[in-house]
Structure 1
Amino acid sequence: MNQNPEQLAQNSAQNPLPKQASRAAKPPQAIWNNIFVFPPNRDTLGGTAYLIVENDANILIDCPPWNEDIQQFLQSLSGVKWLFLTHRGAIGKTKELQETLNCQVVIQEQEAYLLPGVSLTSFQDEITLSPTTQVIWTPGHSPGSACLYYSGHGGVLFSGRHLLPNQQGEPTSLRTAKTFHWRRQMSSIQKILQRFTPDTLQYICPGANTGFLRGQKVIEQAYQRLAALDLSTLVQSQTPL
């Protein structure tokens, strides 16, 4: 009997493999019936990966922890067609993922050089992966930082490290010593606000700091919260963390 993706995730949690699983290993969790969030990945400094299940053209957003349980989970859902990397810090075990899943890897062209030996699809400003998904270049955090927009569920932006929750769970950009260009990052937020509306952007799935969401899994009322940011003050006031 076929099981839906959410049932498979629950089974993964209830019946872990006895040899490969450890107490530290956590299964992916369903956000909606076709979108899953993975536990933070130590290979990407605590980055959070996501999976969109779409008519045999599944999209993996950033690299999840790479272990036997997660491999089997992905393969049980007909594998992965696209692995989209939001920025250079999300590369993780991309080569191993591609070899195992035979997926196509998508990354913004300015960071493609970081993946020698990997078959890539690179893009400049944006690329469409399916009728419901578009990748948008949002430079600032890194030269090739990009977000994926999914039109289902009222509009979901998978933001990588371009937009992260702060300690209060509010979406913002966080300036660090590794930030490529802070002013361009502010411009990329404005680009998102100009492209979408409250009706087309209702959620953000951030690529890190998900513990600050305190179990909520997503940032709700995404457009309104982004619009409330004072970008002119933010660009002047924040010093690197």
Structure 2
Amino acid sequence: MASADASLLPPEEGRPPLPVAPGLWLFAPSRESQGGSAWLIETAGADLLIDGPAFTRANLQFLAGRPRHRPGGSGGAQAWILLTGRDGHGRCRRLQQALGWPVLVQEQEAYLLPGVDPLHTFASEHQLGPDVRLLWTPGPSPGACVVHVSPLGGAGPDGLFCGRLLVPVAPARVAPLRLRGTFHWGRQLRSVERLRQWLPAGSPDWIASGAGLGALRGPKLVEQGASLIRDLDLEALALQPPGGPMTPKPLS
């Protein structure tokens, strides 16, 4: 780990992440992120930790043991922590201190991460290597974003980590969901429309949500992601009643 300070070690043992596909792991639901889902994926250029898993010994041992983990190396980062929204931050600062991995977050939520160093931000879009792109998708939270991992040379994973922009609602189905904590429902639906235009034709093959996955009834990934996103009825969704009080605020 990046530091030998015993104060950085978590008290809870926990359990290691679950292999879902070659080069893709799912961490156990974390109460530190309201039961959300964090992922690790191997890409051509780096390991990507998507959102913060529970701060446990098992998770830290797994992450610190990654072959690409080179804290303090001079050849550029080979591992990143990418945050798709405030509900997925978990104990990001502790994770970053223990691992030494740089953190990337949309600029509107950087203020929520005091003491995280190195911390990188982006505005509307960001290219993180040849096969990884991020898009700002406000709505679930002010700085919500998605991460698209596309194949290099036509071979490799073609997936979308959607954070809480799309939430499992039934087996093999995800959709925007108007929750009590939704930041701005109208912006969320417009973000889905923008996502449709931003994604390449026929992409993604699969979707990995950052929300709880219980509604999927077993599977962890939602297949046929491109058609699912294309077929969402945003006009009907606009009439969805809120799950509780909402206090939308204008974006800066």
TM-score, normalised by the number of residues in structure 1:
0.85
- Provide the rounded CA distance (Å) in 2 between the counterparts of 1:169 and 1:33: 20
- The aligned residue for residue 151 of structure 1 is 150
**Corresponding residue number in structure 2 for 1:122:** 121
Q: Contact (CA 8 Å) 1:154, 1:201: kept in 2 or not? A: no
RMSD of equivalent CA atoms: 1.9
Q: Give the secondary-structure state (helix, strand or coil) at the position aligned to 2:128.
A: strand
Whichever residue aligns with residue 216 of structure 1, its letter is P
Match of 2:249 in 1: none
Shift in Å, 1:238:
3.1
Q: 2:190 aligns with which of 187, 208, 216?
A: 187
Residue 81 of structure 1 pairs with residue 84 of structure 2: no
| Structure 1 segments (4+ residues) deviating >4 Å | none
Structure with bigger RCO (C-alpha 8 Å, 6+ apart): 2
Shift of 1:168: 4.0
Q: Which moved more, 1:167-176 or 1:68-77?
A: 167-176
Distance, in Å, in 1 between the alignment partners of 2:34 and 2:192 is 23
Q: Provide closer, same or farther for how the CA distance between residues 56 and 225 of structure 1 changes in structure 2, counting only shifts above 3 A.
A: closer
Aligned AA for 1:126?
E
1:129-148 aligned within 5 A = 129-148=128-147
User: What is the alpha-carbon distance in structure 2 between the residues aligned to residue 201 and residue 194 of structure 1?
Assistant: 12
Distance 1:72 1:136, change over 3 A: same
Give 1:35 deviation, angstroms: 1.1
Judge conservation of contact 1:198–1:221 (CA < 8 Å) in 2.
Answer: no
| Alignment partner, residue 61 of structure 2 | 72
- CA deviations 1:167-225 (Å, max 9, x no partner) are 34411011112111101100111111112255221110000121222221100011111
Structure 1 unaligned blocks of 5 or more: 1-18
Matched letter for residue 60 of structure 2: Q
**Is residue 154–residue 199 contact of structure 1 (8 Å, CA) maintained in 2?**
no
Match for residue 219 of structure 2 among 208, 216, 221? 216
Cα deviation, residue 239, structure 1: 2.5
Residues 51 and 239 of structure 1: CA distance in aligned 2, closer, same or farther (over 3 Å): same
Residues 45-82 of structure 1 deviation map (CA, whole Å, 9 limit, x = unaligned)? 10110111235721100001111111111122133621
Alignment identity in percent? 37
Aligned to 1:35: 24
2:203 maps to 1:200 = yes
**Bigger helix share:** 1
Q: TM-score, normalising length from structure 2? A: 0.82
Letter in 2 for 1:222: G
Aligned length: 220
CA distance in 2, matches of 1:198, 1:31: 25
Is this contact kept in 1: 2:208–2:221, CA < 8 A? yes
Q: Which moved more, 1:109-118 or 1:55-64?
A: 55-64
Matched, 1:101 2:99: yes
- The CA distance in 2 between the partners of 1:176 and 1:122, in whole Å, is 26
